Structure 1
Amino acid sequence: MIKTANRVLLGLAGLVLVAVGGAVLATGLGLDVPSWWPWDGTDDVLLSTADRTRWRDEGWWWPTVIAVLAVLVVLALWWFLAQLRRGRLAEVLVDSGDGEGALLRGRALEDALGDEAGALDGVSGAKVALTGRRTAPRARVRMLMEPHASPGLALRGLSEGALTHARTSAGLDELPAEVRMKAVKHRAERVN
């Protein structure tokens, strides 16, 4: 939901900036603009001489304006680049022992971890997402627990089983994990 809202807001901000910039460019080129547009001629300027020289005697004004605009540009670029970042890890660098290394698809490791975690006693299903860097991945595990399951035993089985197997098979020093457990909700059935 947050990613969608971010992308919609980023798209709307981009559209507004393109529309305003295009209208200013059209005015500067002498093209027809709507009557409500504040600048209507090729000789019209965005900032008049009075507006530009109003704060000239104040030494702090223009450096402050430039600094604020620079911070806004950096924040806008950071926000834009954050939208392009993947939420999941595409590949994990595996130490093959020969000094070269190999790449393991992130989905393959996620599927293996999820299958092994889902096979634990009392676990109805498990989903795994790898995040972090390819040399230091982190796992987010979501497990659906049956009503009779013991969360402590399931967590111990996950850490001593699936996570340990994944860590040793990928040659990782550590594989930190965030585990979320949720109880399975069964529909009530009428018994005659």
Structure 2
Amino acid sequence: MSGLRTGVNRTALLCLAVALLGAGAVLASATDVVRDRLPSDVPRLGSDRVWVDGEELGRWRDHGWWTPVVIAALSVGVLLFLGWAWAQVRDGRLRELPLGQPDVTLSGPALAAAMTERARGIEGVAHARVRLRGGPRRLRARITLVLLPDASPEAVLRCLARQTVAEARAAVSPRPLIADVRLTGRSR
């Protein structure tokens, strides 16, 4: 996940948490049980507080502009939320990579399959899986290797870097390819 996306997610969650905590504190302070236990310097809502009284609501109904504005604002909020949710659900896998010439593209799944086969051929690797993520400008390969019990992780990584990752970087150049490797071991 990119740094910008992570920052936006954390900011959105922080704003939502602050709004919910604030609303919960305001609503809780309106009840007798909570209000009586609050320190004297904390502002409190009266127990007879009416959030929307009939007279004020009638004045708002006299203005014809506020209903469409509220509905439009809520609609924009829902659309922004749905766009954010779609960005979170989207898998971010690389589908196609343009190679600089018109109508010449490299298939992301084909490159991932080729990298997987090359990684499986490395001595000491029991299982390999490669996922390509990102876009045409920033590629990230997530490589998961399951090593045999007697395999040397250092030798496997060295071979992976020299063969599989180097060939993939040559295939997608001049774009950079970042490789994240996760090694696990197979038990005897």
Whether TM exceeds 0.5 here: the answer is yes
Q: What is the root-mean-square deviation of aligned Cα atoms in Å? A: 3.5
Question: Cα distance, 1:101 vs. partner?
Answer: 6.1
Cα distance per residue 1:82-119 (max 9 Å; x no partner): 25523321112223xxx436211111100110111111
Partner of residue 184, structure 1: 186
Q: Aligned with 1:176: secondary structure? A: strand
Distance 1:101 1:158, change over 3 A: farther
Taking the TM superposition and a 5 Å limit, the aligned residue runs for 1:124-139 are 124-139=126-141
Cα distance per residue 1:110-149 (max 9 Å; x no partner): 0110111111111112100000002332100000011111
In structure 1, list runs of 5 or more residues that go unmatched.
1-46, 56-64, 187-192
8 Å Cα contact 1:92-1:137 kept in structure 2? no
Distance 1:51 1:169, change over 3 A: same
Partner of residue 113, structure 1: 115
Partner of residue 177, structure 2: 175
Partner of residue 85, structure 2: 80
More helix by share: 2
Partner of residue 93, structure 1: 98
Count of residues in Structure 1 that have an aligned counterpart in Structure 2: 132
Q: TM-score, normalised by structure 2?
A: 0.57
Q: TM-score, normalised by structure 1?
A: 0.56
Cα distance per residue 1:134-171 (max 9 Å; x no partner): 23321000000111111111111111110111111233
Cα distance per residue 1:39-92 (max 9 Å; x no partner): xxxxxxxx874463699xxxxxxxxx99x9588535522333225523321112
Of 74-83 and 112-121, the range deviating more from structure 2: 74-83
Partner of residue 22, structure 2: none
